[in-house]
């Protein structure tokens, strides 16, 4: 429970309380960041997803020349959003006493970042060794290692969202996961036989990604209590 919240309760006698109900939560910034209740996790997740969606829109706008000169603002917003969302997953893990939720989340994040770093570092090296242009070496490296990285992240992501769906009693977590996975598959199709439709497919993948994020936002908005096992 959140420190500083107003409560009502029934009692056996003047010394022992039972059936404690929160009537007015103390939802200041400090309590939200430090508490491990579902309401605190929900607040962190909603802020985190909101910032991630906003940073993604800035990224799309910059790529399609809708927004100019944003510098690293979008990246900073995305990092803050990711930190808040990570804190939300950790809070749910503690509130639900889950042994696998945060572990799968951390594995997915680490594999994703290390995989991307590895691909970006390896591509120039392959280009130098094989005397290939930067674009071709980057494409080859992505096709070689991208599916393996994506598979590991998808497996961990599936486990995360299955558990969130079970704990919340909402299938929206799984719907958001599968729709986001579809957007990733669309992105990979650009590197294949549909390369001539790259701009159209990229726009479609971006739209599908935003739909997935919105569904995830709604799922967290409806996550107000833990379902019994």
Residue-wise pLDDT tens digits, 192-212 = 555 566 667 777 888 888 899
* Residue 9, SS3 per DSSP: strand
Residue-wise pLDDT tens digits, 48-98 = 999 988 887 877 666 555 555 565 787 888 899 999 999 999 999 988 888
Q: What pLDDT, on the 0 to 100 scale, is given for residue 189? A: 63
Q: Judge contact between 95 and 36, C-beta under 8 A.
A: yes
CA–CA distance, 112 with 226 (Å, rounded to integer): 29
Q: Tell me the H-state helices in the chain.
A: 29-34, 38-63, 73-96, 101-129, 134-168, 172-190, 198-221
Pick the more confident residue, 179 or 189.
Answer: 179
CA–CA distance, 123 with 120 (Å, rounded to integer): 5
Q: What pLDDT, on the 0 to 100 scale, is given for residue 136? A: 47
CA nearest to 222, candidates 154, 166, 182, 170:
170
For residue 168, CA distances in Å to 32, 42, 226 come to 19, 11, 6
Q: What pLDDT, on the 0 to 100 scale, is given for residue 164? A: 94
For residue 211, CA distances in Å to 126, 179, 182, 217 come to 36, 8, 11, 10
For residue 5, CA distances in Å to 1, 25, 153 come to 8, 4, 38
* DSSP states along 149-210: HHHHHHHHHHHHHHHHHHHHT-THHHHHHHHHHHHHHHHHHHTTTTGGGHHHHHHHHHHHHH
Q: What pLDDT, on the 0 to 100 scale, is given for residue 120? A: 61
Q: What pLDDT, on the 0 to 100 scale, is given for residue 212? A: 92
Q: Judge contact between 105 and 160, C-beta under 8 A.
A: yes
131 φψ region: left (φ > 0), alpha (ψ -120 to 50), beta (else): left
Q: What pLDDT, on the 0 to 100 scale, is given for residue 57? A: 80
Q: What pLDDT, on the 0 to 100 scale, is given for residue 224? A: 84
- Quick one: DSSP state of residue 20? E
Residue-wise pLDDT tens digits, 104-130 = 999 888 887 776 666 666 555 554 554
Residue-wise pLDDT tens digits, 7-64 = 677 776 667 776 666 655 555 555 555 556 788 899 999 999 999 888 878 776 665 5
Residue-wise pLDDT tens digits, 126-146 = 545 544 454 444 455 555 566
| CA–CA–CA angle 136, 141, 142 (5° rounding) | 100
* Residue 19, SS3 per DSSP: strand
Pick the more confident residue, 167 or 8.
Answer: 167
For residue 229, CA distances in Å to 20, 50, 89, 96, 169 come to 22, 30, 18, 10, 10
**pTM beyond 0.75:** no
């Amino acid at each position: 429970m959140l420190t500083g919240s107003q409560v009502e309760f029934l009692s056996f006698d003047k010394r022992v309380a039972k059936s404690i109900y929160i009537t007015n939560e103390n939802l200041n910034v400090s309590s939200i960041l430090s508490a491990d209740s579902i309401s605190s996790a929900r607040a962190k997740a909603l802020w985190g997803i909101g910032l991630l969606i906003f940073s993604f829109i800035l990224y799309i706008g910059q790529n399609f020349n809708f927004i100019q000169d944003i510098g690293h603002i979008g990246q900073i917003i995305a990092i803050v959003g990711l930190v808040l969302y990570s804190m939300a997953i950790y809070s749910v893990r503690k509130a639900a006493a889950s042994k696998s939720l945060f572990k799968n989340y951390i594995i997915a994040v680490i594999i994703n970042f290390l995989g991307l770093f590895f691909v970006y570092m390896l591509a120039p090296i392959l280009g130098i060794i094989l005397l290939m242009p930067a674009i071709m070496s980057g494409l080859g490296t992505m096709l070689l290692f991208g599916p393996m990285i994506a598979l590991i992240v998808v497996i961990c992501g599936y486990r995360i969202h299955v558990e969130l769906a079970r704990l919340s009693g909402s299938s929206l977590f799984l719907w958001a996961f599968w729709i986001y996975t579809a957007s990733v598959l669309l992105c990979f199709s650009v590197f294949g036989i549909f390369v001539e439709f790259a701009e159209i497919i990229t726009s479609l993948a971006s739209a599908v990604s935003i739909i997935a994020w919105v569904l995830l936002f709604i799922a967290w908005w409806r996550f107000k209590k833990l379902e019994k096992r």
